[in-house]
Structure 1
Amino acid sequence: MATDSYVHKTVAGNRGGPLLFAFHGTGGDENQFLGLGPDLLPGAKVVAPRGDVSEHGAARYFRRTGEGVYDMADLSRATAKMADFVRAHVEEAGPSTVIGLGYSNGANILASVLFHAPSLFDAAVLMHPLIPFTPHVEGDLSSTRVLVTAGKRDPICPPALTVELDRALRDLSADVELFWHDGGHEIREGELTAAGAFLAPYRPAA
């Protein structure tokens, strides 16, 4: 079954409430953001898949041949597989909204799924994404809200590429927010606060 196509963990949420997918960074696993999901979006069901590619023992969602150089054929494979995984869990849960949150490699696979299946997610939090290619989308992202967070001194995700991604998302009609901090590739408290504020509209009524 597509719901089991990735090793994953879940956190139960309110029946019929939001469904949040959490995607780890390189070397992380399904536990990296499992606890963060309920903190940012109380009442949401959280699904956290583990990447199925190993890079010298570090879990990733797709292969690369160097820093910032992607194996585009494997990215295509991984994107289609992840889209099927997400769809299967959406069909099973019947959620009010579908939201993705990813960091670094997790943000990259989430962004790729957004481009591949633009109606699949209602909202996405892309933390330090690196998209070194021009996105192609069948349709647009007019029904999708996106928060992009980034570091002004990130050596892995150059700020210029973040600006290009922001522009590309806006050109695709996404409702985009962009948050910068003064550091590098690390996640800082300010971007978690920004993510919480971004997700606040999706919190179930008390």
Structure 2
Amino acid sequence: MSYIARKTEGTAGAPLFLTFHGTGGNETQFHGLAESLIPQAHVTSPRGDISEFGAARYFKRKAEGLYDIDDLAMRTTAMAAFIRAEKARAAASRVIGLGYSNGANILAAVAFLHPDLVDDLILMHPLIPWQPAPQPGLRGRRILITAGERDPICPAPMTQTLADYLSAQGALVTTAWHPGGHEIAQPEISAIQTFLAG
């Protein structure tokens, strides 16, 4: 399975920065943000290859918050292979992943099964409506979760459940909340800057 992707070549030895758009976005949604956050990074931004009434996604769903689990499993395996290939291509010793909404969900799904692939994860408004299996490989992984306290798509209690799960696996979890909904707010960008600086 191949992905249409936007790529920026960074300097030798620089990190690989992967970005994953939300439903209806594309490979340009966060590519420029990643370039500005770490100017010397290799940046790769794949476009989801599922079309939901013309909106690009990374995996199928049956309804809002109801995922096609079989399709998710297949797409997670394919995305893990893509990330592994990009990591080798860039010869990157550090990999950063940033995903929003559907993009955060595919990034998290990859981390649940292949925790060795991405070192630092930025999950913006994730929605994980299932209980992931224990994953000791997440120990020590740095993870930032950003969310809206009144997000109607990604309810705050489910976001907190995900944060609690990741912490229980030994991941180093930071959460950043804003008082709004599913939109990306400036405090989230500030939290990402602080997270990457750390």
State TM-score, norm by structure 1. Answer: 0.94
- Match runs of 1:87-98 below 5 Å: 87-98=84-95
Q: Is the 8 A contact 1:118 1:137 kept in 2?
A: no
Partner of 1:199: 196
CA RMSD, Structure 1 to Structure 2 (Å): 1.0
Does residue 104 of structure 1 match 2:85?
no
- Match runs of 1:7-22 below 5 Å: 7-22=4-19
One-letter code aligned to 2:98: L
Spell out, residue by residue over 1:83-131, the C-alpha distance to the aligned partner (whole angstroms, 9 max, x if none).
Answer: 0000001111111310100000000000000001011111000000000
Does residue 6 of structure 1 match 2:7?
no
Spell out, residue by residue over 1:111-170, the C-alpha distance to the aligned partner (whole angstroms, 9 max, x if none).
Answer: 000001011111000000000001124533113100000000000000000010000000
Paired with 1:200 and 1:138, the residues of 2 have a C-alpha distance of: 26
| More deviation, 124-133/7-16 | 7-16
**Equivalent residue of 1:96, what SS?**
coil
Paired with 1:125 and 1:68, the residues of 2 have a C-alpha distance of: 20
Q: Is the 8 A contact 1:8 1:30 kept in 2?
A: yes
Paired with 2:27 and 2:122, the residues of 1 have a C-alpha distance of: 17
Spell out, residue by residue over 1:28-48, the C-alpha distance to the aligned partner (whole angstroms, 9 max, x if none).
Answer: 000111100011222111100
The partner residue of 2:46 within 39, 46, 49 is: 49
Partner of 2:31: 34
Paired with 1:116 and 1:131, the residues of 2 have a C-alpha distance of: 14
Q: For structure 2, which runs of at least 5 residues remain unmatched after alignment?
A: none
Q: For structure 1, which runs of at least 5 residues remain unmatched after alignment?
A: 202-206
Paired with 1:11 and 1:105, the residues of 2 have a C-alpha distance of: 23
> Which gives a bigger RCO, structure 1 or 2 (Cα 8 Å, sep 6+)?
1
State TM-score, norm by structure 2. Answer: 0.97
The partner residue of 1:183 within 175, 180, 184 is: 180
Paired with 1:141 and 1:121, the residues of 2 have a C-alpha distance of: 10
- Match runs of 1:9-158 below 5 Å: 9-158=6-155
In the TM superposition, residue 11 of structure 1 has moved relative to its aligned partner by: 1.4
Residues paired across the two proteins, number: 198
- The runs of at least 4 aligned residues of structure 1 exceeding 3 Å deviation read none
Paired with 1:143 and 1:163, the residues of 2 have a C-alpha distance of: 19
Does residue 171 of structure 1 match 2:135?
no
**Equivalent residue of 2:136, what SS?**
coil
